[in-house]
């Protein structure tokens, strides 16, 4: 066993999530409290896989109405129109706003779907005790977390759309039910990424290393 493969948990050490104090815990130590700030201590995020799955499945379910239901209703002198995210993208594309169409498509369709797929892949790989390419999976997790921080881009895109439509003084725009579902997908995938404990990726690699020296 090399130094690289000894985890703090194996040495009985854990960090307090609230104050960062390094503490020695005797496993199983589910009831332990941080001696400095009193927060609950645990080696790994409790029920990380189950929680992440729950949030992720909720996001998967809501991803459907987010794309199928109308995201906005526009009404003008020329009549009323209801648009889903994809029909909005197609409209932007055909009306010549290619860059905006690409931004909306990436932010609203591609990124949430890729986030869901990436998190499902990480969960399955941990559940099936995969030891393949932990570095690559750690990188995927970092990307998902990074993207989560920039998820407000989606809101930004909707704001731009609303602003564009409002330029036409006689048109009104109202958010449709998909906007709500879409916001929920963004929030749920962010929470799912937070609930996932990336150290689980390395635990399996470490176990395998210990068992087959
Ligand atoms: Zn603490």
CA 40 to ligand 1 center in whole angstroms: 8
pLDDT in tens, 60-96: 999 999 999 988 887 877 788 888 888 888 988 898 8
Residue 85: name the closest of 103, 70, 107, 106 by CA.
70
Residue 200: name the closest of 119, 123, 114, 121 by CA.
123
Helices of type H across the chain: 48-68, 85-94, 98-105, 111-127, 134-149, 152-166, 177-195, 199-211
Residue 144 CB neighbour total at 10 angstroms: 23
CA 30 to ligand 1 center in whole angstroms: 15
Q: Which residue carries 């503490």 as its tokens?
A: 23
pLDDT of residue 213: 44
CA 34 to ligand 1 center in whole angstroms: 5
The Cα 10–Cα 7 span in angstroms is 5
> Is the predicted pLDDT of residue 125 greater than 90, yes or no?
yes
pLDDT in tens, 29-66: 567 888 889 888 888 888 899 999 999 999 999 999 99
CA 9 to ligand 1 center in whole angstroms: 17
For all residues of the chain together, what is the average pLDDT? 83
Residue 72's DSSP bridge partners are 83, 175
pLDDT of residue 60: 96
Residue 82's DSSP bridge partners are 73
Residue 75's DSSP bridge partners are 80, 172
> Is the predicted pLDDT of residue 163 greater than 70, yes or no?
no
- Total-model pTM: 0.81
> Is the distance from CB of 122 to CB of 201 less than 8 angstroms?
yes
CA 27 to ligand 1 center in whole angstroms: 18
């Amino acid at each position: 066993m090399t130094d690289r493969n000894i985890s703090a948990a194996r040495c009985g050490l854990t960090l307090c999530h609230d104050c960062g104090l390094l503490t020695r815990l005797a496993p199983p130590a589910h009831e332990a409290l941080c001696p400095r700030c009193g927060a609950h201590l645990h080696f790994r995020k409790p029920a990380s896989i189950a929680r992440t799955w729950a949030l992720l499945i909720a996001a998967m379910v809501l991803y459907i109405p987010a794309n199928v239901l109308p995201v906005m209703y526009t009404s003008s002198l020329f009549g009323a129109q209801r648009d889903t995210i994809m029909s909005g993208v197609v409209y932007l594309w055909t009306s010549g706003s290619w860059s905006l169409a690409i931004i909306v498509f990436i932010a609203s369709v591609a990124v949430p779907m890729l986030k869901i797929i990436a998190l499902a892949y990480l969960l399955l790989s941990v559940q099936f005790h995969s030891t393949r390419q932990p570095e690559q999976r750690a990188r995927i997790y970092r990307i998902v977390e990074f993207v989560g921080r920039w998820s407000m881009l989606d809101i930004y895109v909707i704001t731009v759309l609303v602003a564009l439509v409002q330029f036409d003084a006689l048109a009104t725009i109202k958010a449709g039910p998909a906007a709500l579902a879409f916001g929920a997908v963004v929030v749920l995938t962010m929470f799912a990424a937070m609930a996932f404990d990336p150290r689980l990726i390395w635990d399996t690699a470490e176990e395998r290393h210990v068992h087959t020296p």
